[in-house]
Amino acid sequence: MTKTAWIFPGQGSQKLGMAEDLADLPQAQSYFEKAEKILGWSVLDLCQQDETQLNQTLYTQPCLYVIESILADLLTQQGQTPQMVAGHSLGEYVALYAARVFDFATGLELVQRRATLMDATAGGKMVALIGFKREELQQELDKNSDVVLANDNSDAQVVISGTPSAVDELLTHIKAKRALPLNVSGAFHSPLMASAAAEFQTALDGVSFSEATVPVLSNVNPTPSTSSEELKSRLVQQMTGSVRWREIMAQMAREGVEQVIEIGPGQVLTGLFKRGYSQISRVNVSRFADLKSVVE
């Protein structure tokens, strides 16, 4: 059997129409109905009609969670099972659901609370950097605690996060092939999210986690774990901690993963694997029609 990891993308991968071929699927109807009761609005309608609203954190995160969870369960119904899972930022919640750490509704309620808190946090800035010198970047980060490495995606791609003045100051001291400001309301995955993280802790405290059915590699600690307590602790740290995706990929390679299946819209994560670990085969399941491409 091919050793396979399921990976789940986060905010930024969403696109209008991403639920299109799930809309009339009988297996998906109960998910959309449960989601509408919890959220108070229709994921299907939003994904098909309003791109501006879909791109707002408050709506993006629940929509991605619902779509990716449906696709993961459809794979499971086909008899597919991963040997480990991981998700990028918001995607970690889907990874935990796929590992049966919590049920669909519980995960969506956590994601809704997370999205609400993050959407309400203002005053920060995030910029993606492509093509830079890592040592030079680290030296500048060490000089200013108001800007941090938020997403360490690969050797050549990262995201910095912090106060607008600190981010802008850092950018004047490093050379990058591209520096792309992200359209977000706050400095996600940085200490500036501490107050939101503290409020989110209350929501997590009221939820019981189960032992994971397969190992989960967390954003803040890219080592496999099935411990319910450990996985909950890591999730608490995620809002203020860095997404260590570069290390997650390296760990999967060390664990002997032969194939990754990116479950959700886009090909961001498989693209990172292609550039850094081309020996690991890659499959994308962005919609129902892609399920037939998944083979043992």
Active centre residues (catalytic):
89, 189
Label each residue of the chain as H, E or C: CCCEEEEECCCCCCCCCCCHHHCCCHHHHHHHHHHHHHHCCCHHHHHHHCHHHHCCHHHHHHHHHHHHHHHHHHHHHCCCCCCEEEECCCHHHHHHHHCCCCCHHHHHHHHHHHHHHHHCCCCCEEEEEEEECHHHHHHHHHHCCCEEEEEECCCCEEEEEECHHHHHHHHCCCCEEEEEECCCCCCCCCHHHHHHHHHHHHHHHCCCCCCCCCCEECCCCCCCECCHHHHHHHHHHHCCCCECHHHHHHHHHHCCCCEEEEECCCCHHHHHHHHHCCCCEEEEECCHHHHHHCCC
Sheet holding 4-8, edge to edge: 216-217, 84-87, 4-8, 259-263, 281-285
